[in-house]
Amino acid sequence: MPGSSISQGPVAVIDIGSNSVRLVAYDRLGRAPVPMFNEKSLCGLGREVAVTGLLPADGLVQARDALKRFRVLCDLMQVERLFVLATAAARRATNGPAFIAEVEQILGEPVSILAGTEEARLAALGVISGLHRPNGLAGDLGGGSLELISVEDGQLGQGVSLDLGGLALRDAAGRNLKKAAKIVSDTLSKVPDLNRMQGRDIFAIGGTWRALARLYMAKTGYPLNVLHGYSVSAKLIAEFCREVQKADIETLPAISEIARERRPLLSYGALVLEDLIARTGAARFVISTSGVREGVLYAQLPVALQRIDPLLAGARALSDLHARAPAHADELIAWTDDFARSATPNEDESAARIRKAACLVSEMAWRANPDYRAEEAARMIAFAALPAIDHRERAYLASVQHARYEGLTENTVPPLRSLLTPKEIDEARALGCLIRVAYNISAGQPGVLKRTPIRVEGGKLVLFLPPAFADLSNERLVGRLKQTAKMLGIGHEVRITA
């Protein structure tokens, strides 16, 4: 894989939104940037802009203070490039231009005031950058506006920006949900082609929709507290949205996890989402924590880097950080490629990328206490900051890594096991056992696996050892090979080649 970044130092984005002013700093500008610092201030700049036409005085004070702090933080982190964005509130308010001039003076950087359609485009690029081959409707619900844009096979539709952000909708409706419902219905009825999303996904961006997802996860006892890549039936989340509109917000499970300033907007966000699901006929609701900010970074990349699979780029970064010999991971991928051609010749692209990711992260826990390596490896990958991976795939990789260290013995159950089917569990354990064989003959060092192929031949799992490596064959190696073969339902053999 070619290099997946174009900077070696941190980059950052400051997003001046209608509800919050946020700084996110990333480790580098590349295909899988990892947030290294994330802080927001809920300034409510869009509060009552729809009524007064002005950014509120108290919000401006809070925003200035936050931006001064962000400037110092960027200097401390030695940020190489800083991108500053302003969205609906700043572009609509009559005192917006004066405030933007102040921002530029505070930060020493120009501010890009995004038009609504540009905000939609960048949100869609963020979805593309953080999810694997998204196909559906990207929706970015902020405090001042809702951006909608279709995404299919990497291509973007025509984006629209609507005055349905939580703060704007609440103000326009005079804090009356019935009036808000009519505004939403009237507005969305004018958006063309929403019915073309039938059976596809809604990719939800924005703090209010993330908050609704977190509350639903708490209600259903969901086993993973990671929002990115979380998906649920659109029908079920629409039912929950109806509950939220009728409920006393403060009584909802896990409401304490939601910022107090955001709670009053939950009903309005739920109202918009319910109507949108009804009009689109979407099949799934999918959370993307990758939005406008990540879209800005993605847009800076050359096309060759944009085409790199972000999961594999992120997994490779973990390999470079944790592995004893990172070059071994590429040999392990090639070794399992050869195995897959003989054992699963119809392996699809989705399965292949997860197998390759498993190879790249297979050294994450070698420094852990030997008695806990399986647990640590599974935990690290289950909760890693990896893009373009859904929750089932996280669970799968966790089970692979657990078996890589512990084989078929399971003194502890890997995390997220409940997200997998029995068939997926067996496949993950088989791959983990296969990788376990690789480390037994290579000790994690390059130069061995390309000389010791493993294939399915004649109804057996055969490990080929050249004479120079014949002495590697012992009871432990045979035992690990036997475990792998057992998971495949075939025999096993160590064959010394001439």
pLDDT category at 50 given cuts 50, 70, 90 is confident
Q: What is the pLDDT of residue 3?
A: 65
- The confidence band for 346, taking pLDDT boundaries of 50, 70 and 90, is very high
Task: Give mean pLDDT, residues 421-448.
Answer: 97
pLDDT for residue 310: 97
Q: What's the rounded mean pLDDT across residues 1-16? A: 81
Q: Is the predicted pLDDT of residue 339 greater than 90, yes or no?
A: yes
Q: Is the pLDDT of residue 2 over 60?
A: no
Mean pLDDT within 192-210 = 95
CB atoms within 10 A of CB 490: 16
Total-model pTM: 0.94
Give per-residue pLDDT as tens, 361-372: 999 999 999 999
What number is the average pLDDT over the span 404-408?
Answer: 93
In this prediction, residue 295 carries a pLDDT of: 98
Q: What values do phi and psi take at 110, rounded to 5?
A: -70, 150
pLDDT beyond 70 at 1: no
- Provide the pLDDT for residue 5: 66
Q: What percent of the chain is predicted at pLDDT more than 90?
A: 95
- Say yes or no to pLDDT of 413 above 60: yes
Residue-wise pLDDT tens digits, 92-140: 999 999 999 999 999 999 999 999 999 999 999 999 999 999 999 999 9
Q: What is the mean pLDDT of the chain?
A: 95
pLDDT of 341 above 70: yes
**pLDDT the model gives residue 153:** 87
Cβ within 8 Å of residue 126, ≥6 positions away: 205, 288, 290, 291, 292, 293, 294, 295, 298
The residue with greater pLDDT, 483 or 6, is 483
Q: What would the pLDDT profile of 247-274 be if each residue is shown by its tens digit? A: 999 999 999 999 999 999 999 999 999 9
Residue-range domains of the chain with CATH: 11-113 (3.30.420.40), 117-293 (3.30.420.150), 310-496 (1.10.3210.10)
